[in-house]
């Protein structure tokens, strides 16, 4: 697989591990060797990091649905200071590009987070806008193009390395994507999980509200990637239900410059290796066939 | 993921099956009692997530799993046949604590993982339990009794309907024993049984290690989905901190 370049970010492969689906690398090396990581994974996108530690939501946090998974982890993370001190040194040892996913409750949080990362040797940041903006009564950043515009203007002044925005698949998707392009984000990640609900019990009635991921969402996100790639110049990183080489190739053919795998890591901790092997076989097959 | 050939998938009772899969000895030797593996039926999208199972026992290069059909995953598993292949990953999670002078308590198919514990310690008797308490709903669901009898450890039996052994819950027998003879408890079974055992342990001031269950997505610590609340605040992640947890540390009322 040839290496790729998204603006100033060079990746050995187009495969990235999506945020929140491999922890903070605490035990990634139990399942993949250093060599396998370097050969197969283009970049690691960390779990969402916030200013303060967050212990996450009470159980239940996760439940299976047909061909998918609903999660409501609640952005469990150790906070930026502990992340920098404890987790980042180990993550750097993997010697592949590292993108830190950032989560904020107000614009100032994101600005402070990139300030905190300025001196660190990381390749980029991914901005999670699927979170409520407490300064605007809890309206999601992803539903508020004006807030996203202000946010990106401020971040661009502070951060000149790679910056991607992880879009929500719902809300003002196209408008927000255009703002990301105009405000010089380096890429958009299309997309986060879909707001969903599962009825866990009928009596007493109990539900789990969270984000839906997995193969169930692939056709929906693939459509978004296809349309956004046609409409905009900004590089699109596809993310939604990829669990095979065929899925990944479909995203690339629909216009994605790279792709992230998420739920696949939960099914199989070695999914990255399997998917890259499958892509190679598929590409070899496509190249060797003759079309008249 | 490893690929394994199914050599047996035999019905033990109405809903309980014994599955045997052929696994290389290099992988088998990594398994300690109390650890689990995750099984996925090849390439299926529904159910999507591999299911966790404990090791019932290991013989030569065959790993045996005792499971009950409770949902979509185990229903699919019950339909596979000798000669089929499945994917698995393991060992995952922490082993049972290395206990001496303790009592085992199992409810229903919760007995499964204790088979491997007995098998692994049979030559070093100080790590074997003093007594086994084993309860089920009916006589038919008291599966694998002959297997457990082979270890020559006293077994007390109960069934909810009285079709075999004491009529009532196994925790009632356990409580009488602990009152007479306080010892550490290692228990696996339905959540209500584990809650009762936590109370018994508190009452008689003994340690109780509970093998907990919740829906696991990754089983590897990646997703942070399987949290168990701690009494002191915060959470443990069952897949990497467990599945066996000390009852006095966890808040069982915060789970469901």
Domain boundaries, chain B: 2-91, 102-211
- How many other C-beta atoms can be found within 10 angstroms of the C-beta atom of residue A213? 29
Candidates B48, B89, B223; nearest CB to A21? B223
> Is pLDDT at A262 greater than 70 in this prediction?
yes
User: d(Cα B114, Cα B57) in Å, to the nearest integer?
Assistant: 9
Tell me, yes or no, whether A205 lies in a domain: no
Chain B nearest C-alpha distance from A187 (Å) = 25
How many folded domains does chain A comprise? 1
What pTM was computed for the model? 0.95
> Is pLDDT at B18 greater than 90 in this prediction?
yes
pLDDT (0 to 100) of residue A289:
62
Contact A31 B235 (CB under 8 A): no
Tell me, yes or no, whether A61 lies in a domain: no
Q: For the residues B186-195, what does the mean pLDDT come to? A: 97
Q: SS3 string of chain B? A: CEEEEEEEEEECCCCEEEEEEECCHHHHCCCCCCCEEEEEECCCCCCCCCEEEECCEEECCEEEEEEECCCHHHHHHHCCCCCCEEEEEEEECCCCCCCCCEEEEEEHHHHCCHHHHHHHHCCCHHHCCCEEEEEECCHHHCCCHHHHHCCCCCEEEEECCCCCCEECCHHHHHHHHHHHCCCEEEEECCHHHHHHHHHHHHHHCCCEEEECCCCCCCCCCCCCCCEEEECCCCEEEHHHHCCEEEHHHECHHHCC
Nearest C-alpha in B relative to A71 = B225
Q: Label residue B113 by pLDDT band (50, 70, 90).
A: very high
pLDDT (0 to 100) of residue B78:
96
CATH architecture of B102-211: 3-Layer(aba) Sandwich (3.40)
Q: Which residues of B touch A27 (CB under 8 A)?
A: 220-221, 240
Q: Per residue in A148-168, pLDDT tens?
A: 999 999 999 999 999 999 999
Q: Per residue in A180-209, pLDDT tens?
A: 999 999 999 999 999 999 999 999 999 999
- Domain hosting residue A233, numbered range: 4-56+75-194+212-288
> Is pLDDT at B50 greater than 50 in this prediction?
yes
Chain A nearest C-alpha distance from B77 (Å) = 16
Residue to mutate among A24, A61, A264, with most B CBs inside 10 A, is A61
> Is pLDDT at A267 greater than 50 in this prediction?
yes
| CATH superfamily for domain B2-91 | Translation factors (2.40.30.10)
Q: Label residue A286 by pLDDT band (50, 70, 90).
A: confident
Tell me, yes or no, whether A65 lies in a domain: no
Tell me, yes or no, whether A233 lies in a domain: yes
pLDDT (0 to 100) of residue B242:
96
Q: Which residues of B touch A24 (CB under 8 A)?
A: none
Q: Is there a contact between B105 and B187 (Cβ–Cβ < 8 Å)?
A: yes
pLDDT (0 to 100) of residue B43:
77
> Is pLDDT at B243 greater than 60 in this prediction?
yes
Q: Work out the percent of chain B whose per-residue pLDDT is above 90.
A: 95
> Is pLDDT at B239 greater than 90 in this prediction?
yes
pLDDT (0 to 100) of residue A292:
39
Contact A31 B220 (CB under 8 A): yes
Question: Do you know the residue count of chain A?
Answer: 292
Averaged confidence pLDDT in chain A:
95
Tell me, yes or no, whether A203 lies in a domain: no
Which of A125-134, A215-224, B31-40, B82-91 is least confident? A125-134
pLDDT (0 to 100) of residue A290:
55
* A131 carries an active-site annotation: yes
Look up the ipTM and state it: 0.93
């Amino acid at each position: 697989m040839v290496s790729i370049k998204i603006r100033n970010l060079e990746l050995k492969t187009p495969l990235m591990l999506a945020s929140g689906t491999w922890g903070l690398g605490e035990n990634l090396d139990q399942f993949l060797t250093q060599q396998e990581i370097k050969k197969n994974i283009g970049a690691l996108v960390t779990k969402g990091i916030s200013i303060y530690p967050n212990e996450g939501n009470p159980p239940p946090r996760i439940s299976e649905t047909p061909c998918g998974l609903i999660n409501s982890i609640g952005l469990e993370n150790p906070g930026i200071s502990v992340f920098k001190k404890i987790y980042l040194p180990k993550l750097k040892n993997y010697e592949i590009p590292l993108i830190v996913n950032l989560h904020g409750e107000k614009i100032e949080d994101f600005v402070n987070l990139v300030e905190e990362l300025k001196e660190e040797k990381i390749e980029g940041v991914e901005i999670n806008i699927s979170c409520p903006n407490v300064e605007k009564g809890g309206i999601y950043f992803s539903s508020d193009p004006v807030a996203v515009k202000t946010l990106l203007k401020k971040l661009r002044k502070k951060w000149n390395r790679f910056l991607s925005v992880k879009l929500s698949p719902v809300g003002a998707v196209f408008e927000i994507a255009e703002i990301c392009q105009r405000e010089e984000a380096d890429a958009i990640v299309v997309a986060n999980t879909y707001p969903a609900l599962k009825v866990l019990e009928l009596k007493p009635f109990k539900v789990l509200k969270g984000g839906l991921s997995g193969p169930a969402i692939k056709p929906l996100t693939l459509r978004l990637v296809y349309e956004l790639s046609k409409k905009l110049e900004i590089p699109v990183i596809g993310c939604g239900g990829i669990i095979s080489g065929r899925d990944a190739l479909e995203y690339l053919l629909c216009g994605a410059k790279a792709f992230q795998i998420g739920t696949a890591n939960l099914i199989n901790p070695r999914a990255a290796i399997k998917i890259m092997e499958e892509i190679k076989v598929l590409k070899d097959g496509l190249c060797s066939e003759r079309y008249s | 993921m490893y690929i394994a050939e199914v050599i047996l998938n035999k019905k033990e009772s109405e809903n309980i099956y014994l599955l045997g899969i052929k696994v290389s000895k290099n992988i088998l030797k990594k398994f300690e009692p109390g650890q689990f593996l995750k099984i996925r039926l090849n390439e299926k999208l529904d159910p999507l997530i591999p299911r966790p199972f404990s090791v019932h026992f290991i013989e030569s290069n065959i790993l045996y799993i005792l499971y009950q059909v409770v949902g979509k995953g185990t229903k699919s598993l019950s339909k596979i046949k000798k000669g089929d292949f499945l994917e698995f990953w393991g060992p995952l999670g922490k082993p049972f604590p290395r206990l001496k002078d303790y009592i085992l308590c199992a409810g229903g198919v919760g007995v499964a993982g204790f088979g491997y514990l007995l098998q692994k310690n049979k030559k070093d008797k100080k790590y074997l339990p003093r007594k086994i308490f084993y309860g089920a709903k009916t006589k038919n669901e008291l599966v694998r009794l002959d297997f457990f009898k082979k270890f020559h450890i006293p077994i007390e039996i109960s069934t909810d309907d009285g079709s075999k052994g004491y009529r009532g819950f196994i925790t009632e027998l356990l409580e009488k024993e602990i009152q007479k003879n306080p010892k550490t408890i290692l228990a696996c079974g339905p959540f209500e049984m584990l809650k009762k055992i936590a109370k018994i342990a508190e009452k008689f001031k003994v340690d109780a290690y509970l093998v907990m269950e919740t829906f696991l997505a990754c089983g590897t610590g990646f997703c942070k989905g399987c949290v168990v609340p701690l009494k002191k605040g915060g959470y443990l992640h069952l897949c990497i901190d467990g599945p066996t947890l000390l009852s006095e540390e966890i808040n069982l009322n915060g789970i469901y």
